[in-house]
Amino acid sequence: MSTKQTQERSVTLEIQASITERQDDLPAIVGYAFSQGGALLDLQPLDKEGRARLAVPVGAEGQLVRVVLGPEVGKDALDIGEVLRRGGIDRHVPVRPNTERVPPLLFELGPDRWRRWIGRLCVVNGTLLKRIVSGGVVLNLPVCNASVDIDEVDPWPIIIAELPQIELDRLRDIVDGPWPPLRLPIPPRPPEPFLGADMDATDPLLSVALNPQPLPPRQLHAHALQLADPHAIESHAVDRTALNALTLPADLVLAARAPRMVFERAVLSHLDLLRPLLCWLFPFPVRRTRIATVTTDECGHFRALIWRSIFNVDQPDLYFTARQRIWPGFWVTIYEPKPVICHTWWNYVCGSEVTLVTTHPLARACPPCPPVVAPNNWVLFMAIGNTSVWRIHGANDTTRIGAPGHQPDQLGLLDDSAPWGGSLRPRLEFDSSLRNDLGVRYYRVSYKRSGEDEHAWRPSIDAINRHYTHEVAGDLILEQYPLGPRTVGSTAHLYEIPPALPPTGQWSIPNAVLDTQNAVIPTTAVAPGVPFDANGVASGPDQGGTWQIRIELFDAAGTLVDPEALGIKWRVPASATLSGTIQTRDAALLGLVDAALNRMVVTVRVDNNPTFARIDAPAVGGSTAADECGVMHYGESDQAVAVPFLALQRNRFATYSFYVQRGAVSPPEYGVAGTAAANAAGMPGAIPPSPPAAPLPTVGSLLDACPLAGFTEQLYVAHTGTDGWSRLSGYDNSAARAFVLAP
């Protein structure tokens, strides 16, 4: 069934499903075709031969069709998210205007989708991601068009049986102990089983027998958490004391002194317990057999149907590597964790999901492609930077205007009461039907102060681009696709709605910030911050406040369209996270749509005012450290020591931390933290009372057992605002001072 309003012609997508060990009572299997925006294009049940023919409309522009093979879903619950949630298998098919025929789509549908495998076939599902950090935010982007090699590692009975005698003797020494100091490797599947928070503490095996990856025992991790150096926790540097806390079974220790056959049987019987130790202490090489090579799709997914080795009596043990062609004629290995024994998926459960994460700087990522669940013909205001619009006060069910949770003074702030600032980069997503069916080709983003009139709207004028990769004579080329701004007809400052497919090849994200933005709002230019003078007094009126971001749509001639008349739905994400299936909410019900003026408007609170930090001269009993030597003389140990300071931010969008430290002693003798004051007069109220804060310092509490000592005072004031990608740390300030307490 087609959901398009107009259709000149259609192309047939033929599904050919190979259903392994099909049973008579197998429920109906349906093939679905969805547009990139999640609109249902067609659905047909598979016949007895596992075939179905789906009719997909061919529009004036190309589109990326998502074909899903899955169980029958009722009309009331039918959407892309539900089909995938029930275990649907998806493929992506580009359909361009000149497409006349599409090769049949071949699906291998094994019993892993409806029961456990019978026989030796095994389906391997996985995703290859690139982890990058932008502005302190960790992003996992799909790595597309990469070759994933799947190797089967020899099972443990073969590994142990083929160990040379000298290696087996090393293993005996490890089991018999004591163990030397070691550095634990970072496991490839953190963090769920790593802390073991949901494990039964009474089970001695659960603390070490982590499956399928060899992860640190809970006793070792608990010891690591107590280490003074935080870097030791990240590197898992655990000493011999922690290892000795893990007691091996007595029969295993005794078998280490017995003949080889006895020891081998004991090792195999306690394999779940020993596997982590073998990884950390005994990372010997293992034999690998290449059993499959697959290519990741636009979403980084891969799928392989493999035969398990007849030498492996249970589940396969798999090791993964990945390659990608980066330079002309050259393949670069972008994922190959070592040692192999520590990164093997032991006892892989057929059909389960494998997630491979690379940090290789040369790995080329593609745009994230989570399914969007929304009515047909949608425009989604996804985020500002990498921060979901759902987190904005006034843009969600709980805090929309008129809701019980709405607070007028919080309008436009984030859910942690943080303001916006710097360069704001709205991120928009468009249903492909806008271009293909409705003739909507452009959008415009403008902004103004909430109190300004309609003539004050300022359009975004920064260049917005996308990038795509394609092959030329066997070489992979990265090219730019400009979106605007451009003048269309008599309308200026328009940006093209990104097409579903690039002119050729596939979309790429060489820069996670620039390749996901749809406009730029330079708040520092229109609402600059006002600094403080040396006395902590603001030097001018506040330029911040609430600003409105407007989105409008235009047709191919540059004429403003009426979204309501065309059936276009304005949407916002219904979650603070931007991963997985994106559920959406109607922006009109949240009060974010001005239907009379054909636009969507979101309000944000902007504050670019910097912070201020100053430490004034300390004092004790009338003696100050204002002289160049910085010495204060005290009389009694119970005398109070005054350590005044100023931590300011005009609208209190900042936090501060202040401490007094004696010499190199850690922790500091006195420390306090809180929310910055708006001005110097409000500073006393910004210091938390004691208790619960630390008692105010005295001569005795600072000196401890020292009759004379030097001290440093440190103050840091951190702005809480964000540009959507990172905190506005450029507005932070700090101060330092030193003094000496002497009799």
Residue 43 has pLDDT above 80, yes or no: yes
- Secondary structure tally for the chain: helices H, strands E: 14, 45
Count CB atoms within 10 A of the CB of residue 148: 26
Tens of pLDDT, residue by residue over 464-490, are: 999 998 877 767 788 999 999 999 999
Closest among 497, 362, 529 to 430, alpha carbons compared? 497
Residue 66 has pLDDT above 80, yes or no: yes
Tens of pLDDT, residue by residue over 186-211, are: 444 333 322 333 333 333 333 333 33
Non-local (6+) Cβ contacts of 275 within 8 A are 209, 214, 346
Q: Please give the Cα distance from 188 to 698 (Å, whole number).
A: 50
212's tokens? 């399928």
Answer whether 0.85 is exceeded by the pTM: no
Helix (H, G, I), strand (E, B) or coil at 497: coil
Over residues 454-469, the mean pLDDT reads 94
Contact present, 29 and 73 (Cβ < 8 Å): no
* Band (3; pLDDT cuts 50, 70, 90): very low
Closest among 434, 429, 634, 447 to 524, alpha carbons compared? 447
Position 90 scores a pLDDT of 86
3-state DSSP of 77-137? HCCHHHHHHCCCEEEEEEECCCCCCCCCEEEEECHHHCCCCCCCEEEEEEEEEEEEEECCE
Mean pLDDT of the chain: 82
Count CB atoms within 10 A of the CB of residue 246: 19
Position 232 scores a pLDDT of 30
Residue 121 has pLDDT above 80, yes or no: no
Q: Which of 33-47, 337-351, 465-479, 561-575 has the highest mean pLDDT?
A: 561-575
Q: Please give the Cα distance from 177 to 272 (Å, whole number).
A: 18
Q: Is the dihedral of CA 520, 525, 527, 528 positive or negative?
A: positive
Tokens 């779940």 belong to: 272
Count CB atoms within 10 A of the CB of residue 299: 21
Closest among 188, 173, 342, 165 to 248, alpha carbons compared? 173
Q: Across-strand partners of 10?
A: 57
Percent of the chain with pLDDT over 70: 83
Q: Please give the Cα distance from 312 to 687 (Å, whole number).
A: 66
Helix (H, G, I), strand (E, B) or coil at 404: coil
Residue type present at position 345: W
Position 406 scores a pLDDT of 95
Tens of pLDDT, residue by residue over 519-538, are: 999 999 999 999 999 999 99
- In this structure, what are the phi and psi dihedrals at residue 355, rounded to the nearest 5 degrees? -115, 115
CB neighbour class for 261 (10 Å; exposed up to 12, middle 13-18, buried from 19): exposed
Over residues 553-575, the mean pLDDT reads 95
What DSSP letter does each residue of 621-682 carry, written as one string?
TTEE--STT-EEE-S-TT-BEE--EEEEETTS-EEEEEEEEETT-SS-SEEEEEEPBSSGGG
Q: Please give the Cα distance from 355 to 345 (Å, whole number).
A: 11
Residue 223 has pLDDT above 70, yes or no: no
Task: Write down all domains in the chain, each with its CATH number in brackets.
Answer: 9-119 (2.60.40.10), 124-154+286-358 (2.60.40), 156-281 (no CATH), 372-606 (no CATH), 611-742 (2.60.40)
Helix (H, G, I), strand (E, B) or coil at 711: strand
Q: Please give the Cα distance from 683 to 611 (Å, whole number).
A: 13
Residue type present at position 628: E
Non-local (6+) Cβ contacts of 675 within 8 A are 652, 654, 655, 656, 686
CB neighbour class for 636 (10 Å; exposed up to 12, middle 13-18, buried from 19): exposed
Residue 71 has pLDDT above 70, yes or no: yes
Position 328 scores a pLDDT of 66
Position 84 scores a pLDDT of 76
Helix (H, G, I), strand (E, B) or coil at 258: coil
Closest among 403, 445, 428, 413 to 603, alpha carbons compared? 413
Residue 344 has pLDDT above 80, yes or no: yes
Residue type present at position 247: T
